[in-house]
């Protein structure tokens, strides 16, 4: 057994019997295979550096041994590492996964950030613990809109100037609610206490209210006419202003 903790000065540590006729030695990975000619058996030795318990690897092309630490393991189709940090584009990662710009996770200091980038489009998920400015941030860092999706389709989009579109990816107001046939905006305290603004091609703008399950229609605007309703449900109109 050779001690190679100092590669420049290897030393003989002890001996291990390999049989009377060791006729062949083969090295593969971290093991040496010794074939004994007289007994027709093979002995297997694990190669490691005794001082630091580092696995010894063998380069079959150069014939050299290497004692560098092996940090990766392979299990079927999975490559993994335990109790180590991963650096992408950097040699000294400061967290479990660190990199340069892409997919950066860093919990050092007062924030943890995950960035994603595809060409010129860049987004960020950031948890900030700066005293007095604690926040959780999600957004577009580049000049591109931020969309929220359900069932694979965009339902709400915040564009670069701060306009918010619901049902549209190109809002033209601070809040732009759109639908193919009618759009509705509701302010509510509960399912039985609410008021709403509804706009459709057939009716124009309609304002309704609901209190304890009773619907009220105080105003209805159709085209150039302004109609006032009083009472509940389908109570007849009380006044109309025409052009």
pLDDT value at residue 158: 96
87 CB neighbour count, 10 Å cutoff: 15
Query: Do 95 and 59 belong to one domain?
Result: no
pLDDT value at residue 60: 61
d(CA 156, CA 176): 10
Query: Do 82 and 32 belong to one domain?
Result: no
72 within a domain of the structure (yes/no)? no
Domain that holds residue 57: 2-66
Query: Do 85 and 129 belong to one domain?
Result: yes
Give the domain-ending residue among 132, 154, 178.
Answer: 178
103 within a domain of the structure (yes/no)? yes
71 within a domain of the structure (yes/no)? no
- Cβ atoms 155, 166 nearer than 8 A: yes
**Domains in the chain, number:** 4
**Cα 91-123-116 angle, rounded to 5 deg:** 35
Query: Do 151 and 201 belong to one domain?
Result: no
Contacts of residue 119, defined as CB under 8 A and 6 or more positions apart, other chains included, come to none
73 within a domain of the structure (yes/no)? no
The partner residues of 203 in beta bridges, in order of sequence, read: none
46 CB neighbour count, 10 Å cutoff: 10
- pLDDT per residue, tens digit, the chain (243 aa), is 666 666 667 776 666 666 667 777 777 766 777 777 776 677 777 666 555 545 555 566 666 666 555 566 777 788 777 777 888 777 888 777 776 665 556 666 677 888 888 888 989 888 888 888 889 989 999 999 999 999 999 999 999 999 999 999 999 999 998 887 778 888 888 888 888 888 887 777 888 777 776 766 656 666 667 777 766 666 667 778 877
171 CB neighbour count, 10 Å cutoff: 22
d(CA 220, CA 206): 5
Query: Do 167 and 155 belong to one domain?
Result: yes
106 within a domain of the structure (yes/no)? yes
DSSP one-letter string for 61-121: TTTEEE-PPP--EEETTEEE-SS--EEES-SS-SSSEEESSTT--B-STTEEEEEEEETTE
37 within a domain of the structure (yes/no)? yes
d(CA 104, CA 124): 9
- For the entire predicted model, the pTM comes to 0.52
Give the domain-ending residue among 66, 88, 105.
Answer: 66
pLDDT value at residue 34: 77
Give CA separation, 106 vs 84, 110, 112, in Å: 15, 10, 5
Query: Do 136 and 150 belong to one domain?
Result: no
**Token reading at 1:** 């057994």
231 within a domain of the structure (yes/no)? yes
pLDDT value at residue 209: 77
Contacts of residue 109, defined as CB under 8 A and 6 or more positions apart, other chains included, come to none
DSSP-derived 3-state class of residue 38: coil
187 within a domain of the structure (yes/no)? yes
Contacts of residue 226, defined as CB under 8 A and 6 or more positions apart, other chains included, come to 219, 240, 241
Give CA separation, 214 vs 72, 84, 161, 237, 238, in Å: 68, 64, 40, 17, 18
């Amino acid at each position: 057994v050779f001690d190679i903790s100092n590669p420049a000065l290897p030393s003989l540590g002890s001996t291990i019997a390999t049989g009377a006729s060791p006729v062949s030695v083969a090295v593969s990975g971290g093991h040496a295979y010794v074939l004994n000619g007289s007994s027709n058996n093979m002995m297997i030795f694990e190669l490691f550096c005794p001082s630091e318990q580092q696995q010894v690897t063998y380069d079959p092309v150069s014939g050299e041994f290497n004692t560098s630490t092996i940090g990766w393991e392979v299990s079927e189709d999975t490559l993994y590492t335990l109790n180590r940090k991963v650096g992408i584009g950097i040699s000294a990662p400061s967290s479990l996964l660190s990199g340069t710009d892409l997919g950066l996770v860093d919990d050092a200091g007062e924030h943890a950030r995950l960035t994603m980038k595809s060409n010129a489009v860049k987004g960020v998920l950031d948890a900030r613990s700066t005293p007095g400015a604690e926040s959780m941030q999600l957004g577009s860092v580049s000049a591109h809109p931020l969309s929220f999706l359900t069932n694979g389709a965009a339902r709400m989009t915040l564009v670069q100037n701060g306009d918010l579109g619901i049902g549209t990816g190109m809002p033209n107001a601070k809040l732009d609610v759109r639908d193919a046939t009618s759009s509705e905006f509701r302010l509510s305290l509960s399912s039985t206490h609410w008021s709403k603004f509804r706009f459709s091609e057939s009716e124009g703008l309609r304002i309704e209210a609901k209190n304890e399950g009773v619907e009220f229609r105080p105003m209805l605007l159709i085209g150039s006419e302004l109609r006032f309703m009083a009472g509940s449900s389908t109570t007849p109109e009380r006044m109309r202003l025409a052009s």
